[in-house]
Amino acid sequence: MLCYGEIRPQDLIPPIASMLAENLPFRFLLFSRPEPRIHEALKAASFGPHMQRLGLGDSWDARRDIQTFLHDEFSSIHESRSTVVFPKVWPAPEIINKLVDRACGQFIYAATVLKFVDDEYSQPTKQLLIVLGLSHTVKGNSPFKDLDELYRQILSLNPNQCEVVWVLCTLLRLQLLKCHRLPPNPKSIERLLGLSEGEASATLRGMHSVLEVSGPKTDICILHESFSDFLHSRTRSGPYYIQVIPHIILLSWNCGLRRMVAEPVMFACLWQGFALLVYLTGTWSSFIIVLAPIFQWPFITLAILSSALAGMSILACIVASAKLKMECLHVESDGEVSLVCIPYVGYIIWYLILILAYAYVQS
């Protein structure tokens, strides 16, 4: 079913439901991405006894079909290029398995790869190396042009581009950190970005094709590995490119310094503050690990200094949590005041170091 002009797919679903209710001798086959409006329309009670839903996810059958599809199409390319010298076994079985893993049950990825490899003006063997990341693209040629266009279309469903980028960046950082006190769910994202309840889920509402978003406390799952690769490539994602350093600076201010100024004792004592420090330290450390081999000593020095300050802040949080009662919102003794000031001062210095590091990279 193709819809053109101002006719929306969800507008065609009620008439189908009314025909099914009248027991007309028709069967309808609907293909669609899991868009929220279509999904909600199909959940109507009138569809219940008449509908059978089949998800084309990363099942074993889908993987097997994609593997067969890739094998047959690569064989066809091999046979049609009589002037090209191929290896004895091309591509190797492990290469096909790797492409199947990247496809995550979606034929669009496999079809895009084959279309790129079979370019009539290029060598298929070199094109496949580009897809696998073993060679660099030339002259701006992208092996996933069609796939990237699809991802950009999905992301553009939300007009608030800036909020989409921040939410996705936070999601990727949380998945990388794997902290059980800050799981990659909408509630954690809202707490870190200072969003109102339900705002993260609303931002990701139109992205059910690439994300599995169930509830506010349920982990968000990225359905396709290629979508994560897309977000981390500046040339592919364009305005949706995930920039790590500005994101860390925003979180440092939004959830760190601002909360310390408002409620320093609570920040030092509660486990939420401790989990936040662990999150920011882990993200900053991963950033240092990536850039230290490139910039050598300046970043190695910053890594040592920032790690020491962050470690001191985390240790102070642990000691403060043990000494101060959770229900006590005020501090009486001078020793406890100085104890709370340790993470406060250390975090401010750590934040300034982060800004200097960002300025150094941009210069």
Q: Where are the chain's structural domains?
A: 9-43, 60-143, 158-240, 244-362
Confidence (pLDDT) at 93: 93
Question: Which amino acid is it at 43?
Answer: K
Peptide bond connecting 91 to the previous residue in cis, omega within 30 degrees of 0: yes
Looking at residue 5, its pLDDT comes to 46
Phi and psi at 270, nearest 5°, equal -75, 150
Q: First-to-last CA distance in the chain? A: 53
pLDDT at position 333: 40
What is the structure's pLDDT at 71?
95
Strand segments (E) across the chain: 211-212, 221-222
Contact 248, 354 (CB under 8 A): yes
pLDDT at 33 (0 to 100): 67
Structure confidence at residue 269 (pLDDT): 46
Q: Supply the pLDDT for residue 331.
A: 40
Per-residue pLDDT of the chain (363 residues; tens, 9 = 90+): 444 444 466 677 777 777 777 777 778 887 776 666 777 777 765 666 777 777 665 555 788 899 999 999 999 999 998 888 898 889 999 999 999 988 877 788 888 889 888 888 888 998 898 888 755 454 556 677 778 887 888 888 788 888 999 899 889 888 877 766 678 899 988 887 878 899 998 898 878 778 888 888 899 988 887 888 899 888 889 899 987 667 666 666 555 555 555 555 444 444 444 555 555 555 555 555 445 554 555 545 555 555 555 555 555 555 544 444 443 334 444 444 344 444 445 555 555 655 565 555 555
The tokens for 171 are 């999601």
pLDDT at 211: 87
Q: What is the DSSP letter of 240?
A: G
- 245-249 CB contacts, 8 Å cutoff, 24+ apart: 245/287, 245/354, 245/357, 245/358, 245/361, 246/358, 247/166, 247/169, 247/170, 247/173, 248/280, 248/283, 248/284, 248/287, 248/354, 249/351, 249/354, 249/355, 249/358
Stated pTM of the model: 0.58
